Structure 1
């Protein structure tokens, strides 16, 4: 991942790159690790959750390693540019985050448990950066697909803020937005399951070490 702007600032829709009507690249059909299709429609009974928590390479791996997750794919969400490329997103001129789409079986893992993993896998107080990665694409966000997800995300943010404050951390900057208003564009094929293909590759995400008071998992680190 690389930095192209010293002072990150979200572009307005008018300032954002226009993009294109169709993507310039294709996406692999199946997940390298899980073996399931990357793109929908997905089997009945599965649900979809979208998260942004910094560099999507390491973020995606955290989710695909979780029991109950059926498939994952990385992409760009929350911006204005249509069908952006990685280089365009890194320019800071599209407004997108690096996001992970998680398709999961709610009979095995709950949305609350995914939220817990999300909060504990990064530092949600850092604004337009995550660790040494700086840029608007690294901001923290939850894109909700149902009213129930929106309510759970809001509640979990409030609960996590309490324990983060007690631990001496600042204000959570995570956006919680409806996915219906923010198109998800799959990233280029080489980004999909990147750390499986490149085991020694870069992973810039890391949590605060503060456990989130929902779900059952313990914080890492």
Structure 2
């Protein structure tokens, strides 16, 4: 892969349109159902299910945290929040796509709630670290909540204010998580999907702050 000459100074910067890699017009190949649930990774999904997108560091551990939750029908990992269409993992790692590693969560609102998923999000990582998560550094590890409805956006913003109050009590910093309307979600390569179920001894750097979001 040849990078453009106007590369970023470092991977903590987000690229502009001129710096972003061009990507491709067609999605990356994606094979098979969910390795754990057996459900489809891509829609259309059954009627009545809802979708949410979260980014909280390396998507291997993040996806596992969500597929373990009751009421979650399927999950998938991918890239979101950047400029490059249909990026590869290697391209995303350069910092020149602008994407963060993200998890698509498809859930049954009769069995769980968006608020419950937000509690998992806040408590599973450190949302105050900017362009990193633990030892993983770069824009691809930044924290984000990408909302698929106005109701989700309002709920996410309210939960952020509530969690910030709890962080303040513990002497921790300000939340840096992006909260925005959902951009395009680009599925990652098949080998990344449910990676920690396929590779139980694989890397997972996911770690919370110990602060809890009140029910």
TM-score by length of 1: 0.92
- How big is the shift at 1:5? 7.6
The answer (yes or no) to whether the contact 2:60–2:192 under 8 Å persists in 1 is yes
Unpaired segments ≥5 residues, structure 1: 215-221
Choose the corresponding residue for 1:93, options 84, 92, 96: 96
Change (3 A) 1:165 1:9: same
- How big is the shift at 1:6? 5.1
- How big is the shift at 1:29? 3.1
Tell me the secondary structure at the aligned position of residue 43 of structure 2. Answer: coil
Tell me the secondary structure at the aligned position of residue 162 of structure 2. Answer: helix
Distance in 1 of aligned mates of 2:144 and 2:31: 25
Out of 11-20 and 90-99, give the one that drifted further.
11-20
Unpaired segments ≥5 residues, structure 2: 1-7
Partner residue in 2 for 1:183: 184
- How big is the shift at 1:18? 1.2
Distance in 2 of aligned mates of 1:140 and 1:7: 15
The answer (yes or no) to whether the contact 2:11–2:94 under 8 Å persists in 1 is no
Change (3 A) 1:185 1:7: closer
The answer (yes or no) to whether the contact 1:29–1:39 under 8 Å persists in 2 is no
The answer (yes or no) to whether the contact 2:11–2:139 under 8 Å persists in 1 is no
TM-score by length of 2: 0.94
The answer (yes or no) to whether the contact 1:76–1:98 under 8 Å persists in 2 is yes
- How big is the shift at 1:7? 5.4
The answer (yes or no) to whether the contact 1:115–1:153 under 8 Å persists in 2 is yes
Partner residue in 2 for 1:40: 43
| Cα root mean square deviation, aligned | 1.2
- How big is the shift at 1:14? 2.5
Choose the corresponding residue for 2:141, options 113, 124, 138: 138
- How big is the shift at 1:213? 1.8
Partner residue in 1 for 2:23: 19
- How big is the shift at 1:98? 0.2
The answer (yes or no) to whether the contact 1:48–1:145 under 8 Å persists in 2 is yes
The answer (yes or no) to whether the contact 1:54–1:140 under 8 Å persists in 2 is yes
The answer (yes or no) to whether the contact 1:30–1:37 under 8 Å persists in 2 is yes
Moved over 4 A (4+): 4-7
The answer (yes or no) to whether the contact 2:11–2:95 under 8 Å persists in 1 is no
Distance in 2 of aligned mates of 1:48 and 1:94: 24
- How big is the shift at 1:206? 0.6
Distance in 1 of aligned mates of 2:36 and 2:81: 27
**Cα deviation 1:130-179 (Å, max 9, x = unaligned):** 00000000000000001110000000000000010110100000001111
